[in-house]
A = this chain, B = another copy of it.
Amino acid sequence: MLFKNITILDENLEVRENMYVGITKDRISYIGEKEPAEDYGKAYDGKGKLLMSGFFNAHSHSPMSLMRGYGENMMLQDWLNNRIWPFEDHLDSNAVYWGTMLDLAESVKFGTVSISDMYYFCPDMAKAYSDSGCKGNISRSIAAFVEEDFKTSVRGKECIEFFEKYHNTDEGRIKVDMSLHAEYTSVPGVAKQLADYMKEIGAGMQVHVSETKKEHEECIGRHGKTPTAYLADLGIFDTNATAAHCVWVTPEDRRILKEKNVTVACNPISNLKLASGVCNAPAMLSEGINVAIGTDSVASNNSHNIFSEVKTFALIMKCFFGNPTLITPKQAIYAATRAGAIAQGRPDCGLVKEGNKADLIVVDISAANMQPIHDLLSNLVYSASGAEIMMTMIDGNVLYENGEYTRIDLEKAVFEADAAKNKILKEL
């Protein structure tokens, strides 16, 4: 496919107008001001459109789309104890597959191309990714309340088998990361063994860190150190690791995160909704930490519209840290694209660059809410609703165009997800 006369955000996130971008198989094979000599077959008229990298969602629990709006205006522990955990107790393969599929339908519609996804029933999640053509770093979240031998434990075996069977499948679209759920849901021996295994196989890591003040302070009470210091000492960050939330991390924690090259996945909407607080992304960015953006689950968001997340990310930092100059539009777009690709160990993703994977979105910049244009990046961050996504392409495959899905049967996904939800509600 050849995009003609289209505006692009290039690899430096600079706006370039009237460009030609050619796609060959799964990669961007040409970017230039002139029409290439090569015949690309299908042409796409780019007038009034922007071509940019799709979004890399750095933290999610996709099957929880089944719990969208289930338990509102509740205190965190009440919500977990009386809504989320009882519901999750009734999940099965079918529910997780359709919950994931519905989530991917929503994600693709709003321009997400890849997700760092932490949950369980992982083979069912992987099947939904595979069937839909989406990219994802799927991880089996490990909680362990008693010391045991990780590799021979039920969870450990599940984890190892999932990694061996699924890592780098679907032409690399599916990657398998390791995941320690969090400090407060695991004993140190198992956490250490998981870190050792992760290093042995060279896998990535997804872990919750200092999401709430309670969690942060109780860790200090238990271990005499912050969650960041505790996890670093166990070796959990000795890989390509993503620490989700980091709302309560200290300056010393940030020094550790920087030293260990950890990506911070900031989830501004979920953190606001659960009243957890605000991650100090401006400080992290100024210290050179790779800050990416996650949606967390739909159960605490309640959407996977990354445009909404990007806007909230850029807004909340200004007010919470009392300075309207904080977070530029370019920083916000970078966090939602390239920073997430780096977190997922996908160095050839997240930038519109020759040779990179063709994980692209087309945005309608002629819509009423996107005009006039003084600063296109600012319009993207603050003015876009998500409705402007005209196309989502992953590895060169068009998965969504003009409101239609090419691989996902939306009606079936909605029906099956609703049926799975209703079945569980009946059982409760």
| Residue A315 CB within 8 A of the other chain | yes
From B69, B372, B387, A68 is in contact (CB under 8 Å) with B372
- Which residue of chain B has its CB nearest to the CB of A305? B385
| Residue A398 CB within 8 A of the other chain | no
Alpha-carbon separation in the docked complex, A302 to B387 (Å): 16
Alpha-carbon separation in the docked complex, A272 to B321 (Å): 10
CB contact list, A354-409 vs B, under 8 A: 366-369, 371-375, 378-379, 382-387
When distances are taken between beta carbons in the complex, the residues of chain B under 8 Å from A385 are 110, 303, 305, 307-308, 385-387
Give min CB distance, A40 to chain B, whole Å: 29
| Residue A421 CB within 8 A of the other chain | yes
Q: Could you say which interface size class chain A belongs to?
A: 35 or more
From B75, B312, B329, B383, A312 is in contact (CB under 8 Å) with B312
Alpha-carbon separation in the docked complex, A235 to B410 (Å): 57
* Interchain CB contact under 8 A, B316 and A374: no
- Which residue of chain B has its CB nearest to the CB of A379? B69
| Residue A18 CB within 8 A of the other chain | no
| Residue A348 CB within 8 A of the other chain | no
CB contact list, A45-74 vs B, under 8 A: 65-70, 72-74
* Interchain CB contact under 8 A, B387 and A73: no
The stretch among A101-109, A140-148, A180-188, A217-225 that forms the contact with chain B is: A101-109
When distances are taken between beta carbons in the complex, the residues of chain B under 8 Å from A74 are 324-325
* Interchain CB contact under 8 A, B68 and A302: no
* Interchain CB contact under 8 A, B66 and A324: no
When distances are taken between beta carbons in the complex, the residues of chain B under 8 Å from A372 are 65-66, 68, 102, 414, 417-418, 421
The stretch among A196-204, A254-262, A273-281, A285-293 that forms the contact with chain B is: A273-281
Alpha-carbon separation in the docked complex, A304 to B105 (Å): 26
* Interchain CB contact under 8 A, A368 and B329: no
* Interchain CB contact under 8 A, A69 and B413: no
- Which residue of chain B has its CB nearest to the CB of A314? B273
* Interchain CB contact under 8 A, A323 and B275: yes
* Interchain CB contact under 8 A, A318 and B272: yes
Give min CB distance, A94 to chain B, whole Å: 14
Alpha-carbon separation in the docked complex, A102 to B379 (Å): 15
Alpha-carbon separation in the docked complex, A316 to B410 (Å): 32
Alpha-carbon separation in the docked complex, A312 to B272 (Å): 9
Not counting A274-B318, A312-B315, a sample of 10 additional A-B residue pairs whose C-beta atoms are within 8 angstroms of each other reads: A69-B373, A69-B383, A72-B378, A276-B319, A277-B319, A301-B382, A304-B369, A305-B385, A372-B421, A373-B418
- Which residues of chain A have a CB within 8 Å of any CB of chain B? 65-70, 72-76, 79, 102, 105-106, 109-110, 269, 271-278, 298, 301-305, 307-308, 311-312, 315-316, 318-319, 322-329, 366-369, 371-375, 378-379, 382-387, 410, 413-414, 417-418, 421
Question: What are 8 A-B pairs with beta-carbon distances under 8 A?
Answer: A73-B328, A272-B318, A273-B318, A274-B324, A277-B319, A303-B383, A312-B315, A385-B386
6 pairs of A and B residues whose beta carbons are closest in the complex: A387-B387, A69-B378, A302-B382, A105-B368, A272-B315, A385-B386
